[in-house]
Structure 1
Amino acid sequence: MIELIVAERCTDCGACIEVCPANVLDPGRDGLPILARVEDCQTCFMCELYCRADAIYVAPDCDRRVSVSKDEVLASGRLGQYRKHSGWDEWAEHFPNEQWLMEAVFRRAAEAAAQPKARKPGVTGQK
């Protein structure tokens, strides 16, 4: 879930607002994006991918907010890490963008979820 926009790094390009499929961000009064509807965040990382200034931190937990501070995120080196490891923009020569591989992972997960659950002997309610 999106957790943080570091104002000092933001260039006010508006890319994050434009690419968010859940309309989580709004332009603020000073032009910088604000987290308007965080509860709608799908944790798709699109805002983080398109932020060339590495000003956005999206935590991988998509079910609940994670408390982080600006200083903690800056010190951790996490800003821009997803964009870098995805091979976007200036990182294209150094890291291959292999996001397309996730299709197979999601397909296998869907197939596993569709399989009947194996019954375990001795579990209450099962024969």
Structure 2
Amino acid sequence: MKTKQILMAGALALSMVLSGGMLTGCSNSSNTKDTKTSEVTKKKEVKTIGQKTKDSKSLKMTNNTGKKIKVFETKSSSEESFSDNLLEDGDAVKNKEERTLYYDVKENDKLDVKIGLQD
């Protein structure tokens, strides 16, 4: 009976050591994944539209039109005309691409956006 208790205690201690090692292993692999994810995040820089200023607001947008956006113009709802194309020559927002838009609007105004799609 005493031998059985010693063997059970030994088995219990061994299983605790092994499970502790597994938890440590999981923890280390988790840190590796976090590092890889942050490296990928750093590499994937989101392009911008418009100029960032101290008074500008920002908006993250994703092109879900199914086509490239070649023209992107904005205005405050109180303004009469749209801005010039905010995309640089040769630049286009690809389908599913994410961009950050920086814009200025007057107080209590809304932002109006006009886009031109690739034919």
Larger radius of gyration: 2
TM-score by length of 1: 0.21
Relative to its length, the structure with more strand (as a share) is: 2
